[in-house]
Chain A
Amino acid sequence: MDWRKSAQVVLLLLPGLGLILAMIGSVLYIAVAQSFGYYNLTGESGFSVEFWESMLDRKIYNRSWRYSLYIGFFSAIISVALAYPLAIWLRRPFAGSDVIGALLKAPLLVHGLVAAFLFINVVSYNGIFNQFMQGIGLWDGPRRLQNDQNGFGVLILQVWKQMPFALLIMIGSVQAISDDVLDAARDLGAGAFTRFRRIIAPLSLSAMQAALVIIFMGAVADFSFQVIAGPTNRQSLAQLMVFFKENGQWNDAAVVGVTLMVLALLCAGLLALTARIIVYGRIR
């Protein structure tokens, strides 16, 4: 490639890719630098590991990253676990499969905040779910379901929002599996579970990994579901980061932000790798 062509490519890439790299690079640089004491907006700046040291000892931080991982991990696993049987069921079109596809995809069109509002509307103290349970005589009185201590509300919301996305990613690769292969396995005596474990799972592994990674990374960084429907005695990493930022503790916010990015990337990779090991029985 001559210099003229190289210059042309660079000039073409500058407004799009160049801007992305400049902005995201600056964001990452500021986050890491602030976590080590630089770019202090309120006091003196200079290299320091004291923000990391003090944060690692704080109970709120340790509880926060564990809680975020819990939400991310279970959201990804439950969403994919529910999406798989649906993708297999919808592999071949049948009467009504279009309606099902549209209904399943509908939550994708609903904003997360709206989903959170719809959810708390249903599970609130005087909400329709409490009324229903009392109406059928299972409960004597209304129960407090909103902001439950185990984060089940956040998990339900994450699955409601993310499962259609997992389905959308996986259905293509499940549909691409040839009937001949599945018929041959059936003729050789493979049952439904064996066909899934030996054929469907390995052939749709990439899509499953993509779904796991994308859902995990979104859920681990959740803020709005947690603030609206999550437990009040625990904070997600994003919530904790915003809390520090609101208090002007930018360096602490940076420590939490860097933790969030590292955990999201590292654990998403681990999740994808684990899925591969489970499906193939080894790394390859």
Chain B
Amino acid sequence: MSQAKLNKILLYSLVAVCALWLIIPFTMAILWSLVDPTKPWTADKLLPPVMSFYRWQYLWENSSLQQAMINSYTLAPTAAVLALVLATPTAFAFGRLSFPGKSVAQTLALLPLIVPGFVTAVFFTAFLFRLGFAHWRFGGIVLAHCVLFMPFAVRIMTVSFETVRQDHIDAARDLGASTCQRWKVAYLPALKPGVFASLLIVFIYSIEEFAVAFILGSPDFVTIPTLLFSQMGQDFVRPNAAVLSLILVVPNVFLMLGLEKLMRSANPALASGKG
């Protein structure tokens, strides 16, 4: 059998497996989110007997969904901006300066990724208890998200600073540009994709983060993942969980695709955030 024919067979088999792997579960989720409570979807029926947007409307009006969305979409941009602002000076040092112990410092900056998320969540909460800030939920979660995802911002911005060309900075200086103007003409164009990529990656991870929001935020401060988790526990109502799953996953897929594009333009090695 030729390589091309083998590739074709493998391709069709894999597309079929992936379709089963992805399309069926998501179709089920969409269908469950549209089940009308007047006619339940029983095992003997292939499709829900009555479909409507009742569950979507019900959850929007009668659950903590609105509050969860407000919380999630306030936390994420705040953490993203804060992480970028705090990561930029460190990234500048990593990307533009040479100093002893730089590689050790770069490794240490990855610490939040090594410590298990729930350990960080539980003992960061204990730490806040000690400091008397246990009820400072929004601030605590923002701070935790900012630190947890800062390694991504540091890494992306370091690469961006490395790509700033020294001859551009020198040329700007020779032409009499002030420090501020040098940043504007030499640094900013090279940093722009990295800035957007950093903001987006921290934003996405913050929206998706569950451990800290669950440990520190519960029960008063809900985010979309903690609300989904609560709907999947004792009070499991499948159509409601389906609605929340789709609310969590759909915007993030588009954001991730945008991120992929930004990463490629920032640096090909950073594509998919695994640079």
Contact = CB atoms under 8 A, between A and B. Distances in A.
Nearest to A268: B114
Interface in B79-134: 85-93, 97, 99-100, 105, 108-109, 111-112, 114-120, 122-127, 129-130
A249 B10 CA distance: 53
Contact of B228 (A30, A34, A117, A217): A117
Given A117-B228, A128-B28, A238 B147 contact: no
B199 interface: no
A113 B15 contact: no
Interface stretch (B55-63, B167-175, B184-192, B248-256): B248-256
Nearest to A265: B114
A105 B272 contact: yes
Contact of A109 (B129, B215, B253): B253
A107 B252 CA distance: 12
Interface stretch (A73-81, A92-100, A189-197, A271-279): A92-100
Q: What is the predominant secondary structure among interface residues of chain B facing chain A? A: helix
B217 interface: no
A100 B123 contact: no
A30 B126 CA distance: 7
B25 A122 contact: yes
Given A23-B143, A114-B249, A245-B215, A126 B43 contact: yes
Contacts of A11: 89
Interface in A248-284: 250, 253-254, 257, 260-261, 264-265
Contacts of B117: 221
A5 B100 CA distance: 11
B270 interface: no
A188 interface: no
A104 B26 contact: no
Contacts of A23: 112, 124, 143-144, 147
A12 B97 CA distance: 10
Nearest to A254: B123
A202 interface: no
A144 to B, nearest CB: 14
Interface residues of A, number: 78
A265 B114 CA distance: 8
Contact of B21 (A24, A99, A160): A160
A13 B93 contact: yes
A227 B206 CA distance: 21
Given A112-B210, A113-B228, A242 B25 contact: no
Given A20-B147, A112-B210, A242-B215, A12 B249 contact: no
B126 A39 contact: yes
B90 A12 contact: yes
Given A17-B109, A21-B108, A41 B126 contact: yes
A45 B126 CA distance: 14
A68 to B, nearest CB: 10
B241 interface: yes
Contact of A27 (B4, B43, B92, B115): B115
A232 to B, nearest CB: 13
Given A113-B229, A117-B241, A242-B215, A31 B119 contact: yes
A206 B118 CA distance: 28
Nearest to B110: A20
A131 interface: yes
Given A114-B249, A257-B123, A12 B89 contact: yes
A43 interface: no
Given A110-B253, A126-B42, 17 more contacts: A15-B89, A16-B90, A20-B150, A20-B151, A27-B127, A28-B115, A30-B123, A39-B126, A109-B253, A109-B256, A111-B208, A111-B225, A113-B210, A121-B32, A121-B238, A169-B274, A245-B215
Interface of B: 4, 7-8, 10-11, 14-15, 18, 21-22, 24-26, 28-29, 32, 42-43, 85-93, 97, 99-100, 105, 108-109, 111-112, 114-120, 122-127, 129-130, 143-144, 146-147, 150-151, 154, 208, 210-211, 215, 225, 228-229, 232-233, 238, 241-242, 245, 248-249, 252-253, 256-257, 272, 274
